[in-house]
Chains A and B, each alone.
Chain A
Amino acid sequence: MNSQNIIRRSATSSLTPAPQIRDHQVEVAKLIDVTTCIGCKACQVACNEWNDLRGEVETNVGVYDNPRDLHPDTWTLMRFTEHETEDNGLEWLIRKDGCMHCEDPGCLKACPAPGAIVQYANGVVDFQSDNCIGCGYCVAGCPFDVPRISKKDNKAYKCTLCSDRLAVGQEPACAKTCPTGAIAFGSKEDMKELAATRVAELQERGYDNAGLYDPAGVGGTHVMYVLHHADEPGLYAGLPKDPKISAVVEGWKDLLKPAAAVAGAVAVGAMAAHFIGVGPNTTDDDHPDGRSGLRPEDETDTTEAGKVTNLPRHAAE
């Protein structure tokens, strides 16, 4: 992964694309087998340790989820769900949450800062923090609610899939450390094959709905799950059943028009160039019903009430 295998680059015109000639690369993927995950959080620690991140010591609020949420310095965490089955059995469903490294990344598409988000030829979606303007559009654009903006530096952060380790031929820190092997790493092809054997084994054990989570709505992901209940991903702490790229790009149009007016006539031409560049990436037509990963703001008000922002949230309202 270097500057010559960037297959997508945020807010970049196809007239001036990112260098990508070295694109003969194997697509990689991380396969998280939720059925053999014991929720030990080793991946959380390995992630923090490798990436030199130290979050705060919080409090216990009556659950095992700690830290309580993803954070600029917590790029992955376990989400625990106690699920009672129809036959009075109990399942403790534990899902490692974090960036899914979508093939068709909503964050990248939503990002207005050129080169702040890139996708490499191996599928990794990486944030280039130098270019990040902290606008939060990646947050809105992510159907999995993953990126977080730091109030330290007003930049967005998330899992890099350990792009620095991948670049030297190593596996991501979380995959390496996973005690039970619930996190596997390899080529996407191999991971799909592994998933198939896992699904077959689970079906043999009576999990008729076991399956692979590699959602088509985002073009598939480079982080996939094996689920016992692939028919109900929502059981796993709200994993979206059919994630789609948000309608944020719809907002793009609305935004760019006035912006262009400000910039003047020359800019209009440039804007046209831009649309040629980003146009093919927009997916607003995919959401005729207006459903998107972008949460309605009233919902945001309740769920995010405790979170401090360094940007005016409702300043214009």
Chain B
Amino acid sequence: MYGTKLNLGRRQFLKILGAGAASVTATAMGLSTAEAQVAAAVRPYKLLRSKETRNNCTYCSVGCGILMYSMGDGARNAKPRIFHIEGDPDHPVSRGSLCPKGAGLLDMIHSKNRLLYPEYRAPGSSEWKRIGWDEAVKRIARLLKDDRDANFIAKNDKGQTVNRWLSSGMLASSAASNETGILDFKFARSLGMLGLDCQARLCHAPTVSALAPSFGRGAMTNHWVDIKNANVVMVMGGNPAEAHPVGFKWVIEAKIKNKAKVIVVDPRFNRTASVADIFSPIRAGSDTAFLMGVVRYLLETGQIQHDYVRAYTNAPLIVRADYSFDEGLFSGFDAQTGNYDKTSWTYERDADGNALRDPSMSHPRSVLQLLKKHVDRYTPEVVEEITGVKQAEFLRIAGIIGSCAAKDKTLTWLYALGWTHHTGGAQIIRGAAMIQLLLGNIGMAGGGVNALRGHSNIQGYTDLGLLSTRIPGYMNLPTDKQQTLAQYLEETTPRAMQPGQVNYWSNTPKFFVSLQKNLFGKHATRENDWAYDLLPKWDRSYDMLAYFDLMYQGKVNGYIAQGFNPLAAMPDKNKTSKALSKLKFLVIIDPLVTETSNFWRNEGAFNDVPTEEIMTEVFRLPSNCFAEENGAIVNSGRWLQWHYAGQEPPGEARHDPRILGEIMMEIRRLYETEGGACPEQVLHMTWDHDTYHDPHSPEPEEMAREANGYALEDVYDDTGKQILKKGQLLDSFAQLRDDGTTASYCWVFTGSWTEKGNQMANRDNTDTGLGNTPGWAWAWPANRRILYNRASMDEMGNPWDPKRQILHWDGEKWTGADVPDFPATLPPGSPAQPFIMLPEGVGRLFSEKGMVDGPFPEHYEPIESPIAGNPLHDQVVHNPTTRLFRDDAERMGTRADYPYVATTYSVTELFRHWTKHSHLNAMLQPEQFIEIGEKLAADKGIAHGDTVKVTTKRGYITAKAVVTKRMRTLNVAGQEVQQIGIPCHWGFEGETKKGYLANTLSPGVGDANSQTPEFKAFLVNLEKLEGASA
């Protein structure tokens, strides 16, 4: 298999000469021959005159710009086929770079595992059968309609109108464009589905849960290029060098140009650590203790930005007297339900409902004093005991963090799934949010809490409301109890908690009514509460963990997985497999072969299922990939970037909108002709000829414009001046109305496609200062690039750091390098504070009622913990609000049987379970491996490249062993803890070596706030396998 690498000796050379002695000898002596006269020439440049199309990488949330080159010059008679992809040098983030995934996109587009025509797997069958599109569409529509009609719940037990359908569900993609996402939402909700989720559930849902209650919005506060402005780059709970390599460009830039210190705290010495100044290993699942230790250190040493903390955080606000925390429990805990009554988790109010305030922050119930008390337990000794981080190392890192309390220093905090994948994931993120507020780093260039989102459009899918209990624009789907629109709006529209605040969520009715007008068009009237009843109402969350548990119990009949591979992506693969086996039908919409689509196929030990007993009908529908569509995806910095198709989908593959459109139009035809359960929910959805030129195949541009929104009538401002004509695209969400005169699918996207055109396609990369490029693409909200940027200045508008001045007051308005995240004409000295999405106007050290598990973070052990109890409180070991289903509880192991801590992650060569289909990437990491330290390897007699077996209570995998100095033994709570790293990329499909799905091992339990699974800390056993292959 290897090429020859020859070291020829003299006699060998003679032997070669023997073969062609005369000519070789002659030429070797410099005699001219015809052969030797072949002109030296470089390879012809292969891109000349080929068609160049701009797009964005489909993998991660950096959203790198790419140039796709296809055969032909665009002539009609040439069928374009992409043959080369490289980076777009104009792109402000990627500047021409692509990581190994992006550089290998070509082999994903042309993977031999692309699906080319619709297929059907009959109950009990062991093979796929090719079918036609018409047949597939008709049968799927019939199955969906019959199941909906049989199981639709119009009213609940209490007689409340709920209009929901629970027995079928849908998983939406995370790499599809926003425009497909809008159709996903309309598709699922028009059928009354609550079992709707997207990849955000498995990745960054805790980010929204944590950052929204802290700052007002649940998104990355700054953007990729802004990282270059930092003095300190703190990487914890993430590994951007591997997961976001091109975004990491700006970390290196900070390091080189800004002399920034880069600190990595992680269970594993990873590639980010390889270029960091400081690396400290930490026990997986103990980050909250580390962070609360840092908070304690900052408060004790006074290394906080005092002016900022006093003015822009809730530190001076006074909390109710009945709030308490004792032995691991906050006030209001109900042991029966495992939930908190959050009544006491708020401020003491005056008669007007405003929070009481002590500017000196010395009141014993001021947030600052309560915080001091709360973190007092997290001494460096305790931090070491829980986390394994040596005290000296901890103090060294805390000191560097503390140095950024200076007004002219900023720290950027980068994290990703290393934090979200825990039962206390959202609270870990809260820890970083609190530290950054204490340091005065929110709103600052080079500061922020930067959630590095995962998939290329998972930010968009989160914005679009594709989660069980969400609707677009970060509003919640109404519950059973919210039976009227008035009640829903009353309960979801916050009132200001301090005088003079912007409290932008007070506009909730405008956002909601405009959404209803978008969804239900002429069927949404003032008289019917804007079709409020047609939105399904929820009684409980039907997130993925919950929904697959119902499936496991046989309570789900049908499921659609679009661009999603839950068998590989969900925890506890063996349970997922059994759950899927209980479905009556499964519809796969995907460009590629997935393990999920073949879950019924016996792959020997890798997928040992009784094929003939699995009665699930499976339809596999081939869809387009990113390179074959127009549309927008949203990167982690909230940039909506428009991309263009470079070729048509292969074979019979169809665009996602057409796949959904054909099925939806067939369902509608059936409801029109046959009637059925609540037909108006289906038929009143705006998916018709009034909405789209062809509802069977809506064009992306049509959905993009409806996301932005239109004036449905002439619209006037408060003074009676007309600001919009009927039919006009909206300029800004400030124009939205709650009287039915405007429609917008997603209020945060308003401004993205205006009468001036598609703002998402903007390509002016001019740097307006500090790396801001507002002319490139369009960022929500309102094209702001650094959220909360008003907080970069004091109340009078003086920048905390003149070198980091983003905005200034020009006498009439705020202006500068970025769009102000503040009312543009509200002058310096106004009472309004910078956190305009929070009713207090200030950042929250105390999260008020925003979290389910407490207003301050607290360390709880992972559900599977390697130590005997919780060193802080013996009686409350785990997060008391964790939801653990009975079936999952039985599948949890103990430290006696499974002594090692395991954590799963991605390595840079591969992207989740997608790139194993790309030959270029499969070559780079061909096979499942695990990483173990030298001590554990020695104890177990394991050497480099040995095959090992990793076991949890839920199952096992085999893998190759990478024995490394980069995994270290830690001392935790008086015992040695060994950690094992398990990359999660391979499976039984793809061009890589066939193997197990690593998520066979991970546990089915989620973050208390968002139900995102605890992939990052669980217990395993390890043994060497003799003579076996992985």
Contact = CB atoms under 8 A, between A and B. Distances in A.
A201 B964 CA distance: 29
A164 B100 contact: no
Contacts of B6: 135-136, 139-140, 149, 309, 311, 313
A154 B246 CA distance: 38
Interface string B1-37: 1111111111111111100111011111111110111
B252 to A, nearest CB: 4
B249 A60 contact: no
A240 B99 CA distance: 29
Interface string A36-75: 1111111011101110001111111111101101111100
A41 B100 contact: yes
Nearest to A136: B6
A42 B921 CA distance: 10
A90 B283 CA distance: 18
A273 B32 CA distance: 12
A164 B40 contact: no
A126 B1030 CA distance: 41
Interface string A159-179: 010011111100001001111
B351 interface: no
B307 interface: no
Given A40-B908, A59-B960, A164 B42 contact: yes
A134 to B, nearest CB: 8
Nearest to A269: B29
Contact of B275 (A36, A66, A270, A306): A36
Identify the interface centre among A58, A168, A180, A258: most chain B CB within 10 Å of its CB: A180
Given A136-B8, A255-B14, A315-B15, A270 B30 contact: yes
A140 B13 CA distance: 12
Nearest to A67: B923
B536 interface: no
A262 interface: yes
Given A40-B241, A91-B274, A149-B4, A11 B103 contact: no
B923 A128 contact: no
Contact of A270 (B14, B31, B961): B31
B923 A297 contact: no
Given A48-B920, A136-B7, A267-B25, A6 B927 contact: no
A12 B33 CA distance: 11
A24 interface: no
A12 B5 CA distance: 24
Given A39-B274, A114-B36, A135 B16 contact: yes
Contacts of B103: 42, 45-46, 49, 177
B242 interface: yes
Contact of A262 (B21, B46, B273): B21
Contacts of A150: 3-4
Contacts of B100: 40-42, 44-45
Interface stretch (B84-92, B212-220, B795-803, B843-851): B84-92
A180 B245 contact: yes
A259 interface: yes
A239 interface: no
Contacts of B7: 136, 139-140, 294-295, 297, 300
A236 to B, nearest CB: 13
B252 A49 contact: no
Interface stretch (A13-21, A208-216, A217-225, A282-290): A13-21
Interface string B317-359: 0000000000000000000000000000000000000000000
Nearest to A116: B36
Given A13-B30, A114-B36, A148-B5, A61 B908 contact: no
Given A45-B924, A263-B25, A267-B29, A304 B5 contact: yes
Contacts of B5: 69-70, 136, 139, 145, 147-149, 304, 307
Contact of A90 (B33, B279, B961): B279
A26 interface: no
A22 interface: no
Interface stretch (B167-175, B615-623, B941-949): B941-949
Given A62-B961, A173-B86, A82 B29 contact: no
B99 A168 contact: no
B900 to A, nearest CB: 19
Contact of B10 (A12, A84, A254): A254
A177 B87 contact: yes
Nearest to A39: B271
A10 to B, nearest CB: 10
A142 to B, nearest CB: 10
A35 interface: yes
A36 B252 contact: yes
A238 interface: no
Given A62-B943, A310-B4, A18 B40 contact: yes
A126 B42 contact: yes
A306 B32 CA distance: 39
B919 interface: yes
Nearest to B908: A40
Contacts of B107: 49
A131 B14 contact: no
B274 A94 contact: yes
Interface residues of B, number: 105
Interface string A181-204: 110000000000000001001001
A262 B926 CA distance: 51
B269 A274 contact: no
Interface in A104-149: 112-115, 118, 126, 128, 130-131, 133, 135-137, 139-140, 145, 147-149
B963 interface: yes
A16 B31 CA distance: 9
A92 B40 CA distance: 41
A93 B102 CA distance: 24
The listed residue with most A CB atoms (<10 A of its CB), out of B13, B277, B944, is B13
Nearest to B937: A62
B273 to A, nearest CB: 7
A34 to B, nearest CB: 10
A64 to B, nearest CB: 7
A307 B8 contact: no
A42 B98 contact: yes
A92 B104 CA distance: 25
Interface in B33-75: 33, 35-46, 48
B3 to A, nearest CB: 4
Interface string B926-964: 111100000000000001111000000000000011111
B3 A135 contact: no
Contact of B87 (A84, A139, A176, A300): A176
A256 B96 contact: no
Contacts of B274: 38-39, 91-92, 94
Contacts of B310: none
B98 A180 contact: no
Nearest to A276: B30
A48 B279 CA distance: 33
Contacts of B991: 57
B99 A312 contact: no
A112 B27 CA distance: 8
B925 interface: yes
B30 A273 contact: yes
Given A9-B40, A16-B32, A181-B252, 8 more contacts: A38-B271, A60-B927, A62-B945, A66-B926, A113-B24, A148-B3, A307-B4, A315-B12
Interface of A: 1-3, 6, 9, 11-13, 15-16, 18, 35-42, 44-46, 48-50, 54-64, 66-67, 69-73, 82, 84, 90-92, 94, 112-115, 118, 126, 128, 130-131, 133, 135-137, 139-140, 145, 147-151, 157, 160, 163-168, 173, 176-182, 198, 201, 204-205, 251, 254-256, 258-260, 262-263, 267, 270-271, 273-274, 277-278, 294-295, 297, 300, 304, 306-317
6 contacts: A9-B40, A139-B5, A176-B97, A251-B13, A255-B13, A270-B31
Per CB-CB distance, the 4 closest pairs between chain A and chain B, nearest first, are A136-B6, A62-B944, A316-B11, A62-B945
